């Protein structure tokens, strides 16, 4: 993929600006995060498994650098790290956004192979990338943001692998905040609720099929779990990432920040 070169935007030399590495950044929440960082004069490297989506993103933003990668594999994580350093010479911010939903099934019906894949992509990838990037981020007193979920705060029936990965991310967030805090590094997690877009639409469709309900009925259940009865937008998550990277959040670390209109747990969940 193409790599970024020095360029100017309103007189600001972006070759001297902060560098963010965003995983799964070519679509959905990741793309919104990438666009928000670019708007604020970050240089950005994107890792994504979707070749066409990453190519399209680089067409929209020619200064962007990127790597096609399956971050469930440690060797691919190493390529992403190398490509980012080659393109930009440094890393200040790591956004561990990559993750997959996994299948929807009761634990006795869950597929072990799907469990392994979900844990690899949604959890191990964050370890791989943080392990590689943390020396750079410590040197630059940067920050790490892990994309968890409000499933990590309450649990999520019929989504064992997804929930396990997201709960583990909260533990890693707090652990890495302890390890790197003395070096001036902040590590936080964002816990979105249901985020409007194709991904949640697919989750709702699969959930409805598994439960023998209509997608609209499932959507209403999801919305009732929020005190504000809403789905958040990808823009809301991107704004939170930008805040956590800013001086305004300079002493916020080790936190799991819910962006979900306040989830009331699963008291409104419909039994299948």
Distances (CA, A) of 118 to 78, 108, 145, 160: 20, 17, 19, 10
Residue tagged 């990808």 (tokens) = 234
Q: Is residue 86 part of a domain?
A: yes
Q: Is residue 213 part of a domain?
A: no
User: Is the residue at 113 inside a domain?
Assistant: yes
* Candidates 42, 128, 162, 222; catalytic one: 162
Residue 81: CATH number of its domain: 3.40.50.720
What pLDDT is stored for residue 114 in this prediction? 93
Q: In which band, very low, low, confident or very high, does the pLDDT at 152 lie, cut at 50, 70 and 90? A: confident
Residue 6: pLDDT over 80: no
For the chain, give the percent of residues with pLDDT over 70: 85
Of 2-16, 28-42, 100-114, 144-158, least confident by mean pLDDT is 2-16
Q: What is the pLDDT of residue 9?
A: 34
**Mean pLDDT, residues 131-144 taken together:** 97
Calculate mean pLDDT across residues 174-186: 98
According to the model, what pLDDT value does residue 16 have?
A: 60
Does 251 participate in catalysis according to the annotation? no
Residue-wise pLDDT for 67-81, tens only, equals: 999 999 999 999 999
Provide the pLDDT confidence category of residue 259 given band limits of 50, 70 and 90. Answer: confident
Look at residue 223 in the predicted model and tell me its pLDDT. 65
pLDDT at 12: 36
Q: What is the mean pLDDT of the chain?
A: 86
Residue 235 confidence (pLDDT) above 70? yes
pLDDT band per the 50, 70, 90 thresholds, residue 4: very low
Report if residue 216 sits inside a domain. no
Average pLDDT over residues 119-147: 97
Is 55 contained in some domain?
A: yes
Please report whether residue 199 resides in a domain: no
pLDDT value at residue 131: 98
- Cβ 130 vs Cβ 96: under 8 Å: yes
The contacts of residue 132 (CB under 8 Å, 6+ apart) are 77, 78, 81
State the total domains in the chain. Answer: 1
Q: How far apart are CA 245 and CA 55, in angstroms?
A: 26
Range of the domain at 158: 8-193+233-259
What confidence score (pLDDT) does residue 200 get? 72
Residue 271 lies in a domain: no
pLDDT in tens, 190-226: 998 766 677 777 777 777 887 788 877 777 777 667 6
Report the alpha-carbon angle 263-265-267, nearest 5: 125
Does the pLDDT value for residue 154 go beyond 60? yes
Q: Let me know if residue 220 belongs to a domain.
A: no
CB neighbour class for 214 (10 Å; exposed up to 12, middle 13-18, buried from 19):
exposed
Residues 22-67: tens digit of each pLDDT: 999 999 999 999 999 999 999 999 999 999 999 999 999 999 999 9
pLDDT at 264: 66
Residue 102 has pLDDT above 70, yes or no: yes
Q: Are residues 144 and 137 in contact, defined by beta-carbon separation less than 8 angstroms?
A: yes
């Amino acid at each position: 993929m193409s790599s970024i070169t020095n360029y100017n935007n309103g007189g600001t030399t972006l070759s001297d600006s902060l560098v963010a590495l965003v995983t799964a950044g070519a679509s959905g929440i990741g793309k919104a995060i990438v666009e928000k960082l670019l708007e604020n004069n970050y240089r950005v490297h994107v890792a994504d498994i979707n070749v066409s989506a990453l190519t399209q993103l680089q067409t929209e933003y020619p200064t962007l650098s990127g790597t096609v990668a399956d971050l469930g594999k440690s060797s691919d994580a190493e390529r992403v790290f190398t490509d980012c350093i080659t393109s930009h010479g440094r890393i200040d911010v790591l956004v561990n956004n990559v993750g997959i939903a996994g299948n929807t099934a009761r634990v006795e019906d869950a597929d072990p192979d799907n469990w392994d894949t979900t844990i690899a992509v949604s959890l191990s990838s964050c370890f791989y990338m943080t392990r590689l990037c943390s020396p750079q981020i410590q040197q630059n007193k940067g920050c790490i943001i892990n994309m968890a979920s409000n499933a990590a705060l309450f649990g999520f029936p019929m989504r064992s692998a997804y929930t396990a990965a997201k709960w583990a991310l909260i533990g890693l967030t707090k652990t890495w905040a302890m390890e790197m805090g003395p070096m001036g590094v902040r590590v936080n997690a964002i816990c979105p609720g249901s985020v409007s877009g194709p991904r949640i639409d697919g989750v709702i469709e699969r959930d409805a099929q598994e439960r023998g309900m209509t997608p609209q009925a499932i959507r209403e259940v999801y919305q009732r779990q929020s005190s504000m009865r809403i789905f958040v937008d990808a823009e809301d998550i991107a704004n939170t990432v930008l805040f956590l990277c800013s001086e305004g959040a300079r002493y916020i670390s080790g936190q799991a920040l819910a962006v979900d209109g306040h989830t009331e747990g699963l008291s409104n969940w419909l039994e299948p």
